[in-house]
Amino acid sequence: MSKIVERTLDCFELFADQKRPLSLTEVSRLLGIPPSSCHDVLQALQERGYIYELAPRGGFYPTLRMMEISRTIAEHDPVLLRAEILMRSLRDVLDESVNLAKVSGLQARYLLTFEPSHPLRIMVNVGDGLRSLPSTSAGKAILASLDERALEAYMKSAVIAPLTPKTVLAKDRILEQIQQGRERGWFVNEGESLEGVTTLSSTFTWNNSLYIITVAGPSPRMESKLDWAAKMLVDLCRRIEMRTGSSAT
């Protein structure tokens, strides 16, 4: 990624982190970039209407332009438009967190999240990635999408980190879990990546890209509804594929 693009994104993330107006000197110091480079970025953003100066030497702060552009983009996202209603319905029925992630290589980023009514909930943020491939249900879904040669190569070099007492460390057992998930159409993580948390994941394809929908909740709540939650999840993914005209992988 080019340095100017990185610095521009860093500026927005800095404003979100600091939650206050920042001077050129503060932005330069907090981001660790030269004042001259920082000035160029802030000046370009100000000229395009993305930030404004409160007063001379009063600091800069973002306008609502980015939010308006982001809202317009989100409102017309073809995948989100198709998935949102069905995911919201699944959340309402299960009353657990339901999340959508897009796969890119051996990673996935969350695009959409719906939270349950319970005060005790499993939360992820839009833009977050996966904690682990072999120890999360979404990660197992990604590994299951690989051909046998690629899967074998990954497992041969993978270092399995113990995240909880239930993390499966034996690679042959992880391969069994992946094969089981392939056969039934869904993958499970029962406390392997976060203690006391159960997640279910299934996949759909759109425009030759792989997407993952995950249901997550505290293990005691998920235990009694695991099977029918999995059935509803798989059905939801198949319905999205039918709407998009994609074929399953």
In the chain, CATH 1.10.10.10 covers 3-68
Per-residue pLDDT of 195-217, as tens digits, reads 999 999 999 998 788 999 999 99
Task: Please give the pLDDT value at position 248.
Answer: 36
Is the confidence at residue 246, as pLDDT, over 60? no
Task: Please give the pLDDT value at position 243.
Answer: 60
- CATH architecture of the domain 77-244 equals 2-Layer Sandwich (3.30)
Tokens of 157: 């070099």
Task: Please give the pLDDT value at position 20.
Answer: 95
Distance CA 75, CA 146 (A): 32
68 alpha carbon, distance to own chain's centre: 22
Residue 83 confidence class, pLDDT cut points 50, 70, 90: confident
Distance CA 9, CA 182 (A): 38
Phi and psi at residue 221, in whole multiples of 5°?
-80, -35
Residue 78 confidence class, pLDDT cut points 50, 70, 90: confident
Task: Please give the pLDDT value at position 190.
Answer: 96
Question: Which of these ranges, 126-130, 183-187, 232-236, has the smallest mean pLDDT?
Answer: 126-130
Which amino acid is residue 86, in one-letter code?
Answer: L
DSSP annotation string for 111-156? EEEE--SSSS-----TT---S-STTSHHHHHHHHTS-HHHHHHHHH
CB 96 within 8 A of CB 221: yes
Distance CA 193, CA 70 (A): 32
Residue 247 confidence class, pLDDT cut points 50, 70, 90: very low
Q: Which H, E and C letters describe 224-236, residue by residue? A: CCHHHHHHHHHHH
Is the confidence at residue 240, as pLDDT, over 70? yes
CB 58 within 8 A of CB 21: yes
- Comparing C-alpha atoms, which of 60, 103, 63, 96 is closest to residue 79? 103
Per-residue pLDDT of 147-165, as tens digits, reads 999 999 999 999 999 999 9
In the chain, CATH 3.30.450.40 covers 77-244
Considering the entire predicted model, what is its pTM? 0.70
Tokens of 71: 């809202």
CATH of 3-68, one of 1.10.3210.10, 1.10.10.10, 3.40.1190.10, 1.20.58.740: 1.10.10.10
